[in-house]
Amino acid sequence: MIYLDYSATTPVSYDVLDTITKVTKEYIGNANSIHSLGVKSKNLLDSATEQIAHIFNVSPGELIYTSGATESNNMALIGAALANRKKGNHIIVSKLEHPSIYHICDYLQSLGFEISYVKNDREGLIDFDDLKRLVKENTILVSICAVNSEVGVRQPLKMIRQIIKKENFGTIFHSDMTQAIGKIPVNLHDVDLASMSGHKIYGPKGIGLLYKNSNVNLVPIIHGSTKENNLRPGTPPLPLIASFSKAIRLANNDLEKREHFINLLNEKIVKHMQKYPHILINKTKYSIPHILNISLMDVMSETFIHAMEKKEVYLSTNTACASGELSTSVMAIYNDLARAKHTIRISLSHLSTTDEINKFLTYFDEEYAKLANLK
Amino acid sequence: MQKLIIIKYGELTTKKDNIGFFLQTLKQNIAAILSNLPVEIKQDAGRMFIYTDEGYLELVKEKLAKVFGIHEIIEGYVDNDFTIEQIKANALALMQARSFQTFKIETKRSNKNYPLESMAINRAVGSFILKNIPNLKVDVHHPDLLFNIEIRHHEVLYYGEKIAGLGGYPVGTLGKGLLMLSGGIDSPVAGFMAIKRGIKLEAIYFESSPHTSEQAKNKVKSLARILALYNATVKLHVINFTTIQETILKNIPHEYLITIMRRMMYRISEAIAQKNKCQIIVNGESIGQVASQTLTSMSCINEVVKIPVIRPLACFDKLEIITLAKKIGSYETSILPFEDCCTIFVPTHPVINPQSKKCIEYEKLIPYADLINEAITTEEVIYLDSEKDNLEYRDIL
């Protein structure tokens, strides 16, 4: 099997899996119970949270566990919008977001919020002048992802924050960091709110978190308890939390070394694809090497995915959460409908091997030749 | 221009022969607290300079605000261009980013070979600023912005506002003490004040399970961790006090419960302090606050030990202590509702003026020397880091 869909999800690392098993077996107490089994679980929970807080240089109270990035995005956007209704009703998002952001925005629009979409340039970079123009007195929230999930464009969050805060200091800045964590260094102090997910960094599915700067207030979207963390009540899923914490620690090891290796693989593929006249490479100078997007202009992307799957090569058309639709990100960057409809996303990992990439390229040539000939 | 943080030393500069030791300790303490950040620390006789990536600047300042021995934390800029034109341009760029109505330029020249004298530089830069930023005035007595330029041998420094540091002495420069740490509001504050004077603290906690819960112990660990922010690490001695407390409860007249209990705690603390080379005991007693803190009570309790007992809060009132606790960040933890061994078994009418004669008489009713000995030999030692120590979870996390 050649797995090249690491941006959709990653296999759980064995180290992380050990934690899930061990904690499930040995920490049976509810972290909210007052007896020693509960306290034992609570201690582990606190340590897991403190480890994450330490890695990101924030305080433990600023981390809220969720079921994943989609929930974090909901909690952040809906929570911040409702909490700041008196200050305004204007929200800005980029055109390069994960679909969940757009679905939340549709919902917020139905509640009377006004949504603006900030432009980006041909490199995928947020148009600073447009952003500056859009931030107004009634702008309560801006959401811009750290790394786009389809083309891998990385945004300069610090600069974006400075622009937003200069125009309106009270505007809250949220960033979906799901595709950035474990791939590139991030600084949570660049934002007020940030979403992350466990299963993109070799952790389990079903766990994510929201970073919430202590100065930001959110209206809870889930109700159920008066315990300390009233934003996300419920029994903390300790095996998921502990293993998530470990996954974050492991993912932040050797970031640079890994990125360097992945870049070599990426360049190899790009070089290979450049020989085909009908393949367009959707890569800008701000794309991270982990995500490589190409458009096969003379082949249906879904057909191609299925053809490759027969060879046990796993790719995707665009972000898994929007399968079957056109790539909104490619559309936003290149403004070319055909190009956006024919995308293939190859996502790489430090687990990928040169051998895998060589085989992938051989299979690619075979299948591409077959399918392109049909036309 | 590159941004940097300049640290000015406070009280420790009054030291003479051993100033090197104070500065070395301060540098070590700063390096330790910034160990997980990308920083470079340089030092000269009068100041320390910290270079870091701009994104970490706020965090570094926040961490430095918790280091004793620092008088002022200053965010400044450094440049290698000595020309007066560049100095004027730099000053203008930095001052344009601020809002103020009156200002004063103050130049210092440690590089005496520089062709212009300090006053001349003040005038040159001042008039350049007045020309280029409209509606400003110079005020040499009470300026809104005091802008500093320092001409050094290899670089020029620029800075404006200063943030006050914590002051005090670098932790570890004045020996070691043992803090009696309960779960209350006072003892962490007392500890903080002792640390401020350069004392490295260990802490002792009396546990009375099952009367006190594990949550109470965790609370004390959290408090120790808060102190560890200032103290690097805290070695916490947990004493199993249950047998002693139950024996006292069963055998001693109830109005003397607290007095005798405190005498036992003092004895144990002295033994632990001696064993760990702590020269003093520190506690959070405040005169008159409770029955065991009247002057008679304090003297009757104190007489069982020879080691000096320092009570930094002796003359503070409760509101002053609470204000400090909030400043230190221990208040929220201290008020968590878990019983500690001083709050269980409180008699309705504790004696306010205990007599030591009676104490000695009552203590004969219990084999306290053996009980104390057992408590000391069964102590549990926990090392607490400001960043929670995850050693126990090494394989899990």
Of A155, A127, A122, A131, whose CA–CA distance to A331 is shortest? A122
pLDDT digits (tens, 9 = 90+) for B182-199: 989 999 999 999 999 999
* A192 contacts A172 by C-beta, under 8 angstroms: yes
Contact A242 B59 (CB under 8 A): no
- The total number of structural domains in chain B stands at 2
**B131 and B202 in a common domain:** no
Question: How many other C-beta atoms can be found within 10 angstroms of the C-beta atom of residue B162?
Answer: 16
Domains and CATH numbers, chain A: 2-9+254-374 (3.90.1150.10), 14-251 (3.40.640.10)
**Predicted pLDDT at A322:** 59
Taking residues B133-148, report their average pLDDT: 91
Chain A neighbours among B 199-258 (CB < 8 Å)?
213-215, 218
Residue B59 contacts A, CB cutoff 8 Å: yes
Of A44, A50, A242, the CB nearest to B387: A50
Instruction: Say whether B55 and A48 touch across the interface (CB within 8 A).
Output: no
State pLDDT tens for residues A7-17: 999 999 999 99
pLDDT at B388 over 60: no
Its sign, for the CA torsion B179, B182, B185, B186, is negative
Question: Is pLDDT at A297 greater than 90 in this prediction?
Answer: yes
Do A11 and A202 meet the contact criterion of CB atoms below 8 Å apart? Answer: yes
**Which of B132, B150, B167 finishes a domain?**
B167
Residue A19 has pLDDT above 70, yes or no: yes
The tokens of B201 are what?
């603290």
pLDDT at A41 exceeding the cut of 90? yes
Q: What is the pLDDT of residues A86-133, one digit of tens each?
A: 999 999 999 999 999 999 999 999 999 999 999 999 999 999 999 999
Do B236 and B378 lie in one domain? The reply is yes
Residues of A in contact with B397 (CB under 8 A): 19, 44, 47-48, 51, 242, 245-246, 249
Distances (CA, A) of B247 to A87, B346, B371: 63, 15, 9
Which residues of B fall within a CB distance of 8 Å from A57? 36-37, 56, 59
Q: What is the pLDDT of residue B210?
A: 86
**pLDDT tops 60 at residue B389:** no
Return the higher-pLDDT residue of B346 and A198: A198
B192 and B99 co-located in one domain: no
User: In this predicted structure, which of A315-329, B52-66, B227-241 has the lowest mean pLDDT?
Assistant: A315-329
Question: How far apart are the C-alpha atoms of B279 and B114, rounded to whole Å?
Answer: 51
Q: Is the ipTM, as predicted for this complex, more than 0.85?
A: no
B384, B236 in Cβ contact below 8 A?
yes
For residue B14, give its domain range: 2-167
Residue-wise pLDDT tens digits, B84-108: 999 999 999 999 888 889 999 999 9
Same domain, B199 and B253: yes
Q: Is the pLDDT of residue B391 over 60?
A: no
> Can you give the CATH number for the domain in which B311 is found?
3.40.50.620
pLDDT band at A227 (very low <50, low <70, confident <90, very high): low
Q: How confident is the model at residue B357 (pLDDT cuts 50, 70, 90)?
A: very high
Is B140 in the same domain as B181? no
Q: Are residues B211 and B310 in the same domain?
A: yes
What are the angstrom distances between the C-alpha of A161 and each of A80, A156, A183, B5? 17, 9, 21, 23
Suggest the residue from A44, A59, A253, A255 to mutate for an interface test with chain B (most B CBs closer than 10 A). Answer: A44
Domain identity same for B146 and B219: no
**Is the predicted pLDDT of residue B340 greater than 60, yes or no?**
yes
Tell me the C-alpha distance between B97 and B328, whole Å.
32
B57 confidence band (pLDDT: 50, 70, 90): confident
Q: Does A18 touch chain B (CB under 8 A)?
A: yes
Instruction: Determine contact: B332 vs chain A, CB below 8 A.
Output: no
Least confident of A274-288, B2-16, B57-71, B337-351: B337-351
- Write the CA distances from A148 to A167, A176, A287, integer angstroms: 25, 9, 8
Domain boundary residue, one of B144, B167, B190: B167
Look at residue A319 and tell me whether its pLDDT is greater than 70: no
Domain stops at, among B123, B143, B167: B167
Written as one letter, the residue type at A87 is K
Lowest mean pLDDT among A226-240, A301-315, B292-306: A226-240
Mark whether B200 and B141 lie in a shared domain: no
B145 and B197 belong to one structural domain: no
| CATH number for B88 | 3.30.2130.30
- Co-location of B212 and B334 in the same domain: yes
- Minimum Cα–Cα distance from A36: chain B residue: B214
- Mark whether B230 and B282 lie in a shared domain: yes
**Residue A331: both structure tokens together:** 């559309």
Does residue B384 register a pLDDT over 80?
yes
User: CA B144: distance to chain centroid?
Assistant: 31
Say what the pLDDT of residue B17 is: 81
Residues paired with A64 in a beta bridge: A210
Q: Quote the CA–CA distance of B393 and B397 in Å, as a whole number.
A: 6
Buried b (16+ CB within 10 A) or exposed e, A91-120: bbbbbbbbbbbbebbeebeeeebebbbbbb
pLDDT of residue A237: 96
Q: Are residues B51 and B158 in the same domain?
A: yes
Rounded to the nearest angstrom, the minimum Cα separation between A262 and chain B is 25
Which distant-in-sequence residues (6+ apart) come within 8 Å of B299 by Cβ? Answer: none
The mean of the pLDDT values for chain B is 90
Q: CB-CB: which of A44, A187, A190 is closest to B393?
A: A44
Q: What is the DSSP string of A7-20?
A: TT--PPPHHHHHHH
- Asked whether the beta carbons of residue A48 and residue B395 sit closer than 8 angstroms, the reply is no
> Is A246 an 8 Å CB contact of chain B?
yes
Question: What is d(CA B267, CA B251) in angstroms, rounded to the nearest whole number?
Answer: 19
| Record: contact A242-B218, CB cut-off 8 A | no
Can you give the pTM of this predicted structure?
0.70
Residue A276, token pair as written in the block: 């085909």
